[in-house]
Structures are given as C-alpha cells and as structure tokens.
Amino acid sequence: MITFEGAAKLYPDGTVAVDGLDLTVETGRTTVFVGPSGSGKTTSLRMINRMVEPTGGAVLIDGEDVRRRDPAVLRRSIGYVIQQAGLFPHRTVRDNIATVPLLLGWGRARARARAAELMELVGLEPAQARRYPHQLSGGQQQRVGVARALAADPPILLMDEPFSAVDPVVRASLQDELLRLQRELHKTVVFVTHDIDEAVRLGDRIAVFRPGGRLAQYDTPERLLADPRDAFVESFVGYDRGVRRLSFFPARDLSLRGEAVFGAGTGAGGALAAVRESGEPWALVVSADRQPLGWASAEQLGRAPADTALGELDLAPYGHTFDVGTDSLRAALDAAVLSPAGRAVGVDAEGRVLGVVSQDDLGTALWSVTE
C-alpha cells in the first residue's frame, strides 16, 4: 500500500508542483493519476521512488516513509516504465530486460532466463532477444520496457505516460496487454496519463489532479463519470461522460430481436412479408453457420423478384458486431450508430448472430440503467 500524507513539492523559485496530497493507493490495484499539464501527477508518481524528494508531508510504502530507504535500493525494488521505454541503446533486448536482476546480484544465466520468460509474458518473440532497441517498433520497445520493469518481480509498478508516444492502434494493444498482465500478476500499479479514456479503461481508481498540484477527486471510474465533484472535474472528464459510463454496463441483458434475421437462402418475398409483419425496415442476412453477411432494406426486398435468394442481393455492410457475453452497452451503441441500418448485430464468442437491437431499443435500455 502506498500512502501520501500531506505530500508536497515546492521548488526554490516558488513553483508549487504538489500541494498537500492525501491519497492511498490500494495494494494489487491499478491507480491512475490524470490531469492537465502542470497538475503534479508525474511529480507525485516520482515521489514514490524518490526521483523527486517531497518538501512537505510524507510518502509511505506499507507504513514506512520512503525517505528512510536508500534511493538506489528503493528504485531497484520498484518497476518503472516511462514514455518511449528509455531502453539502453547499446544493449540487446535480453540484456535490457536483465538489467535490474544483474544489479541485484543475480547470475547472468538466471537473469537471462528471467528475461526470456518475461519476453513471452509481454508478447515478444524469442528471436527478438538479440536485437537492439533501434531494430524494434515503438510498441515493441514499450513491451521491452514493461518486461524490464517486471524483471525482479517488484510489488510496485510505476508507469509514467508509457503509451503516449505510439499510434492509437498500438496504444490500444498495449492497454489490452497491461490489463491482461494485471489480471495475472496483481501488481500495485500507479499509472500517469493525460488521457481520461485511458484512465477510465485501465484504472481501478482514478485521481484527478487540478492545476497547482491539488487533488480534485479520487474515485472509481464509474463514480467519477456518474458524479464529478465540481465543474473542473466535469469539464476534464468531458461532457460525453455519459457515453463513457456505458462501458461499465454489460450488453448481455439487452433484449435482442431475431425476427429480422434470415438465412442467405431465404427468398426475398418471404423475408419482405416477415419484416413487414414485425415492423422492421431491415433484414439481416446470415450464412448457414449464422455469420453476418449484410443488410437488405425492405425497399430493396420489395424491388427484387420474390424468389430471389437474399444471398444474391447487393447487401449493405453490417458494420461491426458486439459480443453479447463480454462487451458493454457502449460497444453495442457504437455498433448501432455505425450501422447503415441503425441496428447493432449481437454475436456470441464464435461470431454467430444472436439477434439485433435498434437504436430506439438501445435508448430505452440505456435510460433504464443510467437514470
């Protein structure tokens, strides 16, 4: 457990970086520090490993003031990941990862074996062990940085905007990887970001810092989105916070409609009669194993000869699907908004269509869970 007790950092020129921070980081959970530039979030993180010394108050790890510990020894016991990885350019991937174990006196063979184990854990190929950082992509370098931070199995992992320098696709992949690792390892993670979406996705608790180094709100992601403490927090989390909040409600309770789902061999006439009876303006066409193929509008069905198989029509794309068992209402809403039919296609884990849900039905479901 990490505890900030009135922790403060005042620089000689009078700049207040952190002002009386009181906060407890729970053991085995991910706590995200988020806020605008100059709000003290990185300074607060660096006080944990004494890269920044507080000028007031205290920072404690399991009840012990960090200032009582030798800085070098303290830092070797805490994993640290920074933006753009901070790898040693003259060392191979394997030896970068083995850095801290070697400093702790591990034998070279043991340290390299640990590096190989961690490369597999973070999704790096064994063949990359002998490469140098410049031979890796940005995302791969960040994976090496995470592996290096985990090498000595530290209980605490500090991450200072580790994914901000990579493109959005790689960033999402690295976020997924961190979530997976945390499910397996249960480290005490302190993660700094300026991105509220990243904070909501990764954090068990979120600390929002305001300019001047003061804590504005410390809460769970759901509570933060549902009940921002003041105008600053409300503005920072964004006025679309209601949509973000949908990420915390599962899609499995949605009522899906199956009367507008038809096999590719169904005739246009039969499908038209069925959709008219159900009041659905669109028919979703699926393959024999219920994989989605596309949408046919009632107007299109009416123009086609009655015996034309739906699979022969020029179908509109179905957009993207949502997994009924694992996805959130936000994913379902996103699928519906992007669908040309204004309907989201719900599938099971194998991608088989379970049914569809319209934007109107989603609106009713969203109202019921967020009111």
> Tokens for 211?
């300019």
Domain ranges for the chain, please list them: 2-248, 261-370
Tell me the DSSP string of 158-207.
EEESTTTTS-HHHHHHHHHHHHHHHHHH--EEEEEES-HHHHHHH-SEEE
Q: Cα separation of 286 and 263, whole Å? A: 5
Split at pLDDT 50, 70, 90, the class of 118 is confident
pLDDT higher than 80, residue 239: no
Residue partners of 235: CB distance under 8 A and separation at least 6? none
Q: What is the pLDDT of residue 85?
A: 65
- Taking only the tens place, the pLDDT of each residue in 286-329 is 999 999 999 999 999 999 999 999 999 999 999 889 999 999 88
**261-370 placed in CATH 3.10.20.30:** no
Residue 132's Cβ-side half-sphere holds a number of Cα atoms within 13 Å equal to 5
> Which segments of the chain are extended strands (E)?
2-10, 16-25, 30-34, 56-61, 64-65, 78-82, 156-160, 188-193, 205-210, 214-219, 261-263, 282-286, 292-297, 321-323, 343-347, 353-358
Note the pTM of the prediction, 2 decimals: 0.78
Q: Cα separation of 89 and 95, whole Å? A: 11
Q: Cα separation of 216 and 196, whole Å? A: 14
pLDDT higher than 70, residue 166: yes
Pick the CATH number of 2-248 from 1.10.10.10, 3.30.360.10, 2.60.40.740, 3.40.50.300: 3.40.50.300
Split at pLDDT 50, 70, 90, the class of 371 is low
- Taking only the tens place, the pLDDT of each residue in 27-62 is 999 999 999 988 999 999 999 999 999 999 999 999
pLDDT higher than 80, residue 84: no
Q: What is the pLDDT of residue 207?
A: 97
